[in-house]
Amino acid sequence: MLHKMSVTLNVDDENKVELFEVTNPSGRKHLFSQFEDGMVVFRHPGIAQTGIWTYYAKLYSNTVLPSGDKMTIDVVTSANSEEAEPFLLEVFANHQIVDPYNNKLIFYAKVTKGAYPVSDANVVAIVHRPRSNSSSDSVTLTLHDNGLGDPDITAGDGIYSGYFSDFAPVPGFYSFQVSADDNKGLAKTPKVQPDKSRRISSKFVY
CATH of the domain at 36: 2.60.120
Q: What angle do CA 95, 146, 150 make, to 5 degrees?
A: 40
pLDDT of the residue at 34: 61
Query: From first to last of its 206 residues, what are the pLDDT tens digits of the chain?
Result: 556 778 888 877 777 888 888 888 888 887 765 666 667 777 776 777 777 888 888 888 777 766 656 777 777 776 655 446 778 898 888 877 777 777 788 999 999 988 889 999 999 999 988 876 655 588 999 999 999 988 998 999 999 999 998 888 888 888 888 999 999 889 998 765 444 433 333 343 33
Q: Does residue 90 sit in the same domain as residue 76?
A: no
Residues 33 and 99 in one domain: no
Question: 75 with 6: CB under 8 angstroms?
Answer: yes
Q: What CATH number corresponds to the domain at position 144?
A: 2.60.40
Q: Are 77 and 97 within one domain?
A: no
- Across the chain, the runs of DSSP E, i.e. the strands, are 2-10, 17-23, 29-31, 34-36, 39-44, 54-59, 72-79, 87-93, 105-113, 116-117, 122-128, 138-143, 159-164, 175-181, 188-192, 199-203
pLDDT at 197: 39
- Are residues 189 and 98 both part of a single domain? yes
The residue among 64, 12, 9 whose CA lies nearest residue 31 is 9
Asked if 56 and 42 touch (Cβ cutoff 8 Å), the reply is: no
Cα 122–Cα 181–Cα 144 angle in degrees, nearest 5: 20
Per-residue pLDDT at 38: 64
Given 43, 65, 81, which residue is the final one in a domain?
A: 81
Residue 30: closest CA among 38, 21, 17:
21
- Report d(CA 54, CA 128) in Å as an integer: 13
Of 61, 81, 101, the one marking the end of a domain is 81
User: Looking at the structure, do residues 115 and 179 belong to the same domain, yes or no?
Assistant: yes
User: Whole domain around residue 150: which residue ranges?
Assistant: 85-206
Residue 175 to residue 187: CA distance in whole angstroms:
27
Q: Give yes or no: residues 69 and 99 share one domain.
A: no
User: Rounded to whole angstroms, how far apart are CA atoms 113 and 171?
Assistant: 38
Same domain? For 144 and 104 the reply is yes
pLDDT score recorded for residue 162: 94
Same domain, 91 and 49: no
Return d(Cα 112, Cα 178) in angstroms, integer: 14
Verify that 44 and 131 share a domain, yes or no. Answer: no
- Please list, in sequence order, all residues whose beta carbon lies within 8 angstroms of the beta carbon of residue 83, skipping any fewer than 6 positions away: none
Residues 6+ apart with CB under 8 A from 116: 85, 158, 189, 190, 191
The number of domains in the chain is: 2
Same domain, 46 and 70: yes
Q: What is the pTM of this model?
A: 0.57
Same domain as 161, residue 123: yes
Find all residues with CB under 8 Å of 67, minimum gap 6, and list them: none
3 plus 94 within the same structural domain: no
pLDDT of residue 126: 92
Residue 201, pLDDT score = 39
End-of-domain residue from the set 81, 98, 132: 81
